[in-house]
Chains A and B, each alone.
Chain A
């Protein structure tokens, strides 16, 4: 479980996050949704420590993350896996080297164990046997899946996905969503997903937090979102023709 308490952040004199309080539950796909530029990425980057928020704290299973020493923070970070929007695969490494990198750095596994683990996670993301290929040889969807394989290879307790299906065709995007959902259930991770993809919201939104202009505006799940009496949320949702048709508008 990840708990965000009173998180606020300013860029210079512009406040971009306003006292965010939210709990992300274990074994669930927790979605942070909202339009671009409303603070989703700043929230996620603050939660993993890539941005030091001006105020507030993040607790990983009760352990404070932001107010502890850098050394202690590194230990919690080793329990985190993250899929970046642009995948952030290391260009000069093969797929195999990319995926096994966290194992090389963070574990004392034998070579054989590492190879088996890499083969297993690549199989889980439906990309078996591509260890020898370079990221530049892969399609966008394949890169995302390799990024996901790298994020989960060391069995993280917390999985963060920043816009996991941006730039992908609807079919590949849905496959990535399914994969994240399956992996969350299989490994019991606390998964936090930043997205503005309405298909993802409806398909895997077990918990949904709507961020609007830096504020937590609404909280619920995919079964309640369409009927929520929140004007800004409905405007956001109705940007999709399918949602408009679904709601009979």
Chain B
């Protein structure tokens, strides 16, 4: 078990090292990068928007439910929604959802290429396979996922504010006042740190799982599931590590 973990960690870093090789033809790598950028970004946009709206809305309603004392001003809801969305909900929930959406596709795409000998074909051509297949995917993930997380944070807070307003929980003015009162630039830094770390985890771990898949069609499905589970677990571990390092 422990031996297996060290084997995977070692092979993961070897894969990353090989992925940094100089591209044979920059234009072909660029095409591969743009293709990944497109499906990751545009394909995930609607999902992220819907989830962010509901997360913001639920946070507002639950915060109001917990404010049992009339001595606490309702503007506190704005502060809770903004802080929790920036610090935890937008980066972590969005990343776990994207581990399912992007991570599973990344892994299954590479696993399919492996079991159908497409990776062998690239290797026979004398192409740096790790560099061509893994690097554009990781870079695309590192660019797209943080943008989606920032979008999720904005939509989550705005969604929470609008739900609070339309359900008469908290007026917009109070919500904004509460959000501004406790706002700290550090919250944005933590949100961005998580966004970049989590996006790297989704891109690299899923690529690793897919790239080293062996077997047949059944193993492609298995790789997809493993990529989602492994990425999600590692995201949660790093969520704690980042909180511990930056918040204490």
Which A residues fall within an 8 A CB radius of B?
Answer: 48-50, 73-78, 80, 82, 84-86, 88-92, 101-102, 104-106, 160
Contact = CB atoms under 8 A, between A and B. Distances in A.
29 contacts: A49-B124, A50-B120, A50-B123, A73-B126, A74-B126, A75-B126, A76-B126, A77-B123, A77-B126, A78-B126, A80-B124, A82-B124, A84-B120, A84-B121, A85-B117, A86-B116, A88-B116, A88-B118, A88-B120, A88-B121, A90-B113, A91-B118, A101-B125, A104-B25, A105-B24, A105-B125, A105-B127, A106-B125, A160-B124
A74 B116 CA distance: 22
Given A84-B117, A101-B28, A101-B125, 14 more contacts: A50-B123, A73-B126, A74-B126, A76-B126, A77-B124, A77-B125, A84-B120, A84-B121, A88-B118, A88-B120, A104-B28, A105-B25, A105-B125, A106-B125
Nearest to A73: B126
Contacts of A106: 24, 125-126
Contacts of B112: 91
A51 B237 CA distance: 37
A50 B124 CA distance: 7
Interface residues of B, number: 17
A92 B35 contact: yes
Nearest to A154: B125
Of B27, B123, B125, chain A has the most CB atoms within 10 Å of the CB of B125
A78 B28 CA distance: 17
Interface of B: 24-25, 27-28, 35, 112-113, 116-118, 120-121, 123-127
Contacts of B120: 50, 84, 88
- Top-5 shortest CB links A-B: A77-B126, A74-B126, A88-B121, A88-B117, A78-B126
Given A86-B116, A88-B118, A88-B120, A102 B28 contact: no
Given A91-B112, A106-B24, A86 B127 contact: no
Contacts of A102: 125
B118 A90 contact: yes
Nearest to B25: A105
A82 B112 CA distance: 19
A92 to B, nearest CB: 7
A76 to B, nearest CB: 8
A75 B35 CA distance: 28
Nearest to B35: A92
B122 to A, nearest CB: 9
A83 B8 CA distance: 32
A164 B127 CA distance: 23
Contacts of A104: 25, 27-28
A49 B129 CA distance: 14
Contacts of B28: 101, 104-105
Contacts of A105: 24-25, 28, 125, 127
Contacts of B113: 90
Contacts of B127: 105
Contacts of B35: 92
A101 B127 CA distance: 11
Contacts of B123: 49-50, 77
A69 B118 CA distance: 23
A189 B76 CA distance: 77
A88 B35 CA distance: 20
Contacts of B25: 104-105
Nearest to A89: B118
B17 to A, nearest CB: 13
A106 B108 CA distance: 27
